């Protein structure tokens, strides 16, 4: 078995039964990083010596005490926005090029306690801004299916590392599509969990729920495995959901006959590339074959775009306003422009956004009484030129700024619902296209179940990139 293409669950079984050692698994993935990473630039800090030492420690421990946890010996990479004690965490910025945190994020603590082995940090746009993974510190991460195309973002390094077999599992974060978009562009799975499902500790903004942390993997089952470790309450996180993470480590099989699925049209008039719509429309038959009751419907998303922009702008200034000066030329223009907008947000703007978001969520609640799931495209476009900062036009419709081309994800973010991107098809040019499944409030399990059935029915996720 190729240890780089085996699923995380397959590797976990081999490690538990001692068919392979953690040292062998980690060494194989480090060799894969050495061979492939120079071509795609997905992992920006490699922790080879640390990873091998950790693997040796796990191999000694399993002899006496058994596996260290459900992720025993599995290679993982953390997004370069996630604090890792003793390991450089740059946020993709020249300002923090030498930043080495003194403590781990809770997410890092949990996966390590479950037996995972940190092999590196994955690339992200500066401070995670944008759905194209490039920055001045490390450069661009390339799509492994076509090296001249973008991998999406902001969890683009994670998606590419998974697609190319450099890691078994990875984490990401998502405010406007940063888990879902790169998963779609790289033919892997990315779950945006319900707000509070994965506690964000430490944070300076404990009540902000537009941004979430979540798992990424090559299969839905592997995403559920990682979610089971990442999720669960923490008394330091006031918005953390109470269910224990182990709730998700289960057989995801489900009888879907009669389950009501709403199939999206155009999200209130958003433009889409014709091939994206063609491939998306073809997936309706998959849900019908699964026995779902599929109807054409989508929630009323009026005001969602402005709500997203106001809350996002306020949050960026809240979190970065003291770190990034408005005239600091070391920071990319995109970052400065976003902060400049955030500094214009007033108390009246915030009041409007919170009021309108309350109405938006209420309308979505009514919609999800009639439908258990909502299915829509992940992205409005196919993966584009890696040298292009953002999409300026879709189907002849000009995009006013770099946020506009990803509204198929960012509008969903305002609803505070779980959403997953799962591989669906390939374009005529061989580029991956994912589908987005949105569930009822806090029904992360249901989203995983439907995604797992869809994944099995299409088999699109089994197609790996043509890298040697």
Active site residues: 79, 154, 178
Tokens standing for 434?
């994912």
Tokens standing for 320?
């970065």
In our burial notation (b when 16+ CB lie closer than 10 A, e otherwise), range 432-442 reads: bbbbbbbbbeb
**β-strands 75-79, 117-122 pairing:** parallel
Rg (CA), the chain: 21
Task: Answer whether 196's CB lies under 8 Å from 240's CB.
Answer: yes
Which of 284, 445, 293, 291 shows the shortest CA–CA distance to 370?
A: 293
- Partnered with residue 260 across adjacent β-strands are 293
- Partnered with residue 140 across adjacent β-strands are 134
One-character DSSP codes across 376-438: EES-SS---BTT-SS--EETTEEPSSTTGGGHHHHHHHTTT--EEEEEEEE-TTS-EEEEEEE
How would you class 253 by CB atoms within 10 Å of its CB: exposed for 0-12, middle for 13-18, buried for 19 or more?
Answer: exposed
CA 74 to chain CA centroid, nearest Å: 19
Distance CA 316, CA 321 (A): 7
Between the two ends of the chain, the Cα-to-Cα distance in Å is 16
- Partnered with residue 120 across adjacent β-strands are 46, 77
How would you class 101 by CB atoms within 10 Å of its CB: exposed for 0-12, middle for 13-18, buried for 19 or more?
Answer: middle
Distances (CA, A) of 90 to 35, 180, 244, 459: 24, 22, 31, 36
Half-sphere exposure of 410 (CA within 13 A, CB side): 24
Task: Answer whether 272's CB lies under 8 Å from 395's CB.
Answer: yes
One-character DSSP codes across 7-37: -HHHHHHHHHTTSS-HHHHHHHHHHHHHHHH
Tokens standing for 163?
């697609």
Which of 452, 457, 448 shows the shortest CA–CA distance to 193?
A: 448
Half-sphere exposure of 314 (CA within 13 A, CB side): 20
Which of 263, 258, 187 shows the shortest CA–CA distance to 426?
A: 187
């Amino acid at each position: 078995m190729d240890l780089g293409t085996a699923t995380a669950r397959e590797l976990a079984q081999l490690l538990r039964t001692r068919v392979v050692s953690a040292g062998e698994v980690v060494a194989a993935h480090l060799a894969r990083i050495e061979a492939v990473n120079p071509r795609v630039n997905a992992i920006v800090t490699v922790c080879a010596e640390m990873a091998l030492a950790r693997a040796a420690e796990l191999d000694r421990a399993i002899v006496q005490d058994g596996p260290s946890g459900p992720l025993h010996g599995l290679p993982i990479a953390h997004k370069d926005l996630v604090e890792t004690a003793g390991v450089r965490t740059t946020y993709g910025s020249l300002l923090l090029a030498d930043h080495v945190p003194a403590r781990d994020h809770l997410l890092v603590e949990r996966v390590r306690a479950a037996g995972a082995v940190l092999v590196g940090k994955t690339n992200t746009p500066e401070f995670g801004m944008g759905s194209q993974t490039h920055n001045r510190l490390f450069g661009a991460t390339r799509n492994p299916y076509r090296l001249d195309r973008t991998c999406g973002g902001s969890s683009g390094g994670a998606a590419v590392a998974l697609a190319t077999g450099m890691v078994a599992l990875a984490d990401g974060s998502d405010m406007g599509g940063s888990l879902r978009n790169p998963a779609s562009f790289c033919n892997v799975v990315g779950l945006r969990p319900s707000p509070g499902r994965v506690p964000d500790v430490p944070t300076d903004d404990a009540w902000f729920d537009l941004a979430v942390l979540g798992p990424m993997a090559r299969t839905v089952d592997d995403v559920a495995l990682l979610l089971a470790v990442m999720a669960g309450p923490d008394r330091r996180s006031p918005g953390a959901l109470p269910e224990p993470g182990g709730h998700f480590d289960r057989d995801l099989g489900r009888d879907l006959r009669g389950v009501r699925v709403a199939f999206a049209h155009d999200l209130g008039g958003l433009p889409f590339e014709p091939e994206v719509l063609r491939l998306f429309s073809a997936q309706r038959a998959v849900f019908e074959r699964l026995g779902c009751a599929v109807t054409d419907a989508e929630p009323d998303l009026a005001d969602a775009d402005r709500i997203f922009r106001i809350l996002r702008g306020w949050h960026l200034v809240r979190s970065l306003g003291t770190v990034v000066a408005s005239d600091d030329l070391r920071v990319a223009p995109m970052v400065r422009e976003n902060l400049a907008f955030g500094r214009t947000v007033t108390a009246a703007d915030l009041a409007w956004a919170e009021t309108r978001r309350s109405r938006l969520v209420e309308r979505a609640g009514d919609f999800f009484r009639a439908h258990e799931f909502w299915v829509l495209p992940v992205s409005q476009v196919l993966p584009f030129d890696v040298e292009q900062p953002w999409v300026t036009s879709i189907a002849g419709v000009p995009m006013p700024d770099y946020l506009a081309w990803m509204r198929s994800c960012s509008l969903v973010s305002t609803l505070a619902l779980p959403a997953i991107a799962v591989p669906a098809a390939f374009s005529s040019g061989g580029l991956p296209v994912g589908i987005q499944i949105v569930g009822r409030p806090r029904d992360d399990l249901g989203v995983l179940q439907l995604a797992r059935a869809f994944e099995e029915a299409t088999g699109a996720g089994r197609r790996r990139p043509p890298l040697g």
